[in-house]
Amino acid sequence: MENLKKLLENYLGKDLQIEIDGEVESCSMLDWNQIIRDNDQWAKGMEGMTDEEKDAYCNHSVSDFVNIYQYFLDEEEFEQKVDNKQWVPFAVLGMYKPHIHGYAEMNNSGMLLFNVEEDPENPSIIHILDGEEQELASDFSELSITEVEEFE
């Protein structure tokens, strides 16, 4: 997975846009490994809590990992592919600097994932939106991603 990290390192934390099927969308890159680590830490915060305390904790503290699963990977097939490490999420579309806590109320344009199942070193790109998946590109270099100064 080190190769995937290298592909993304110049994009993380920047305001980006991507062209998909002639439409320009904002694009926020994700460090999936960091999201997993943060989720593990978040989950540890519930150790030893009662169900009532867990409910309160979850209402005041949220995991980006959980929200990504809820709002982007809402199909069981998608969840399984991420769980089995066949797909690796790397970008959300439709907003800059995602604050995943707000995804429930916001429109978005889907998520991009590496399909590492067939070729982990040079994976194809999957776009999921509204419960549908499509192969967007045969590799990362085919994506038209640019940095922007301001969101238009």
Residues 45-91: pLDDT tens digits? 899 999 999 888 888 877 888 888 888 888 899 999 999 999 999 99
Domain membership of residue 106 (yes or no) is yes
Instruction: Kindly state whether residue 51 falls inside one of the protein's structural domains.
Output: no
What pTM, to 2 d.p., does this model score? 0.85
Question: Does the residue 89 lie in any domain?
Answer: yes
Classify residue 104: in a domain, yes or no: yes
In a domain, 31, yes or no: yes
Query: How would you write 98-143 as a 3-class SS string?
Result: CCHHHHHHCCCCCEEEEECCCCCCCCEEEEEECCEEEEEECCHHHC
Whether the Cβ atoms of residue 71 and residue 101 lie closer than 8 Å to each other: no
The answer to whether position 59 is within a domain reads no
**Number of domains into which the chain is organized:** 1
> Does 54 fall in a domain?
no
Domain assignment present for 52:
no
- What pLDDT, on the 0 to 100 scale, is given for residue 32? 93
Look at residues 137, 122, 107 and name the one whose alpha carbon lies nearest to residue 25: 107
Domain containing 124 equals: 2-44+64-147
- The 10s digit of each residue's pLDDT in 91-123 is 988 865 555 445 554 567 889 999 999 899 999
Greater confidence (21 vs 59) lies with 21
